Structure 1
Amino acid sequence: MSIEGIGYEGQTVDALVSKLRIRGVATLVDVRLNAISRKRGFSKRALAAALAEAGIAYVHMPVLGNQRDNRAGYGELDSPLARQVRERFTAELEAQGARKALEELADLARTGPVAVFCYEADEQHCHREQVLEQVRGILDRDLVSR
């Protein structure tokens, strides 16, 4: 089982695809609420096409995206706002749709290497860090219960 995060900040599509191939990633899971970008090649269709050409599957899970009005505090690591936005997103991950998507993401990780994808290069400044924590918790729970 392998799951990691990756951001496209400061990347080109070719560089991103190259990194994914080097790491042996089988599936890229896009956790942006809206899979659009002003940066060429990173909108849903273009990215999916580039990944498909490289033999990497693309899955968009918008239910694991962070709401626009909950993003500002992610630039900070330890402030009241940083804690507030992370707590809000953690609560949103408890919703039924998000729980189902987290289980699906864990299933993907059980079948091959997965990269969880969003914009920020530094995972500490991105909601995907919390998504990864939740999925790793599911995978760890399964290992313990066997």
Structure 2
Amino acid sequence: MAASKVWTIGYEKVAIPDFVAALKDAKIKTLIDVREVANSRRAGYSKKSLAASLDAAGIAYIHMKQLGTPKAGREAARKGDTQTMRRIFEARLVEPESQLALAEAAELANKGRVCLMCLEHDWRECHRTIVAQHLEGEFGIKPAHLSPEPQI
């Protein structure tokens, strides 16, 4: 049996129709929103709007705030202090609620095509890659990254 996979995607500078098209092209069935706060100033990416767009495309939406970066980590990232952001986020991932969310994400990935979503276009700069690395290390789920072309 082939190893399960988890995809990741960032919505930075991508219009919602192009974002949904990238998910459909990859045959994603479930999008896991790994933002702690599922709000966005970018049109279409707040929780309710995003869930509605995905539902219309036949893609399930799940918000797992336990896999989001705490406020202090987001502030460090905004300042360019990725080491502090990573330290804060790694501490979050050992919390029981985050461990349960990781296990749930792994279970979903074992059942179908799942994609982790956050803002950052470059997966190497986003905490969703840390989540994907934990899914690989703890559950053997291989990461893959979607990179829709920035349009906005």
TM-score, normalised to structure 2, is 0.85
Equivalent position SS for 1:71: helix
2:136 counterpart of 1:136 = yes
Equivalent position SS for 2:87: helix
| Pairwise CA distance, 1:64 | 0.8
1:8 corresponds to which of 11, 16, 19: 11
CA distance, structure 1, for counterparts of residue 86 and residue 25 of structure 2:
31
| 1:67 counterpart residue number | 70
Q: Tell me if structure 2 keeps the 8 A contact 1:7–1:120.
A: yes
| 1:52 counterpart residue number | 55
C-alpha distance after superposition, 1:60-99 (max 9, x if no partner): 001111012212444698xxx3222212211210000000
Q: Tell me if structure 1 keeps the 8 A contact 2:44–2:50.
A: yes
Q: Tell me if structure 2 keeps the 8 A contact 1:51–1:58.
A: yes
Change (3 A) 1:76 1:135: farther
Equivalent position SS for 2:9: strand
Q: Which runs of 5+ in 2 are unaligned?
A: 142-152
Moved more, 51-60 or 124-133: 124-133
Q: Which runs of 5+ in 1 are unaligned?
A: 142-146
2:38 counterpart of 1:35 = yes
CA distance, structure 2, for counterparts of residue 128 and residue 108 of structure 1:
16
| 1:96 counterpart residue number | 96
Equivalent position SS for 1:59: strand
Structure number having the greater helix percentage: 1
Q: Quote the sequence identity (%).
A: 37
CA distance, structure 2, for counterparts of residue 132 and residue 74 of structure 1:
18
TM-score, normalised to structure 1, is 0.88
CA distance, structure 1, for counterparts of residue 64 and residue 120 of structure 2:
17
C-alpha distance after superposition, 1:105-137 (max 9, x if no partner): 000000111110000000121111111111122
Equivalent position SS for 2:28: coil
| 1:26 counterpart residue number | 29
**Could you say what the CA RMSD is over the residues aligned between the two structures, in angstroms?**
1.7
